[in-house]
Chains A and B, each alone.
Chain A
Amino acid sequence: MVDPRISIIDERLKDIRNIIAVSSGKGGVGKSLIASILALTLAKKNYKVGLFDLDFTSPSTHIILGAERLKPKEEKGIVPPHVHGLKYMSIVYYSGEYASPLRGADVSNALIELLSITRWGKLDFLVIDMPPGIGDATLDLIRLIKSIRFLVVTTPSPLAYETVRKLISLLKALKIPLIGVVENMKVSESNLIQQQVRKMDVAFLGEISFDTKVERTIGNVNMLLETAFAEKVEEIISKIEF
């Protein structure tokens, strides 16, 4: 028996110019905020942008965007609704306020299902908010999306960086393009992470100071984009050659 869904994924993604996975070895480093601001900033620059929350068991970008009562349109598949200028897709449309306790194989299956039925149409960028680690979602994206590139987020913590180092090693060994590493939640001056990243021959994209005001803007995109955090993300993005 053949799973027919795999064969249609390339067709579904063929009109997307750039697919960027925002990833990290650890949770809680700011992936979802950076992925959301990356997508919103690119949309503000008049690019056509999609945001796909792939953290199926703990989705959170809908809270950041204040997009909690939306549904995709059903039209020969599913068409993501527009949220703040983004085509936005999340499993939360289906799981709502309830928990989604999924094992690895279930995560894989849900990912393949959504990739095979979602009609993104023409996009300049599809930003993917990844779950932490190098589990099923990461391996499936590498397997199923040939043009994927990774933007990796770490914090200054050696605990976070150690997991990021392993993620980078894996991506390099598999010859998956890396856009670079962002160091988030800086609380003191140190070049340690920057040096370690450069030693691995990976671009260090920039550092973002810990911003105590960000939490208060969750759910309000206009306020979020005015934070020092968002300004720094925008500055980092402006230096990236996509």
Chain B
Amino acid sequence: MHEWALAEAVISAASQIADKEGLREVTEVKIKVGELQQIELDILEFALSQLKPAKFKNAKFSIEIEKAKLKCRVCGYIWFFGKEKLDENMAEAIHFVPEIAHTYIKCPKCSSPDFEILKGRGVWLESIKGVKLGDG
């Protein structure tokens, strides 16, 4: 249920943005979830539904999964993350702290752990839409 903590962060950040932009009602929240963290989407969605404050009552949460793309800093090779090569403990460790990928994943070409996560790390709040105070 570590997804619960991430859902709390999403709701907290979205609430702050809604307040800053003067939204009286939030209608849509777009979230991007990086594949590297292997988030359980049904748990994340459930947590969001339980945590959402009144202003988000009718909000639609759309979640997009972004494939994890890695680039070796030593040889320049670019590849996509495949969790099938990790055992359960390794996958779980990366689930909690994605940077642990550098402990267990190596460049498939030169075996270096010095790679960049180009895409697909973490949970991001992409956009929120809503009705402004004073609107209709």
Contact = CB atoms under 8 A, between A and B. Distances in A.
A-B complex is real: yes
Contacts of B113: 99, 101
A2 B97 contact: no
Given A101-B114, A114-B97, A117-B6, A4 B13 contact: yes
A3 B122 CA distance: 9
Contacts of A95: 93, 100, 103
Contacts of B17: 2
B68 interface: no
A5 B13 CA distance: 8
Of the four ranges (under 10, 10 to 19, 20 to 34, 35 or more), the interface on chain B belongs to 20 to 34
Interface stretch (A37-45, A60-68, A69-77): A69-77
Interface in A57-113: 74-78, 91, 93-96, 98-103, 106-107, 109-110, 113
Q: Interface majority SS on B: helix, strand, loop or mixed?
A: helix
Given A2-B13, A76-B5, A78-B96, A100 B122 contact: no
B26 to A, nearest CB: 14
Contacts of B99: 56, 100, 102, 106-107, 109-110, 113
A78 B2 contact: yes
Interface in B71-127: 89, 93-94, 96-100, 102-104, 113-114, 121-126
Interface of B: 1-2, 4-6, 8-10, 12-14, 16-17, 32, 89, 93-94, 96-100, 102-104, 113-114, 121-126
Interface of A: 1-8, 11, 56, 74-78, 91, 93-96, 98-103, 106-107, 109-110, 113-114, 116-117, 119
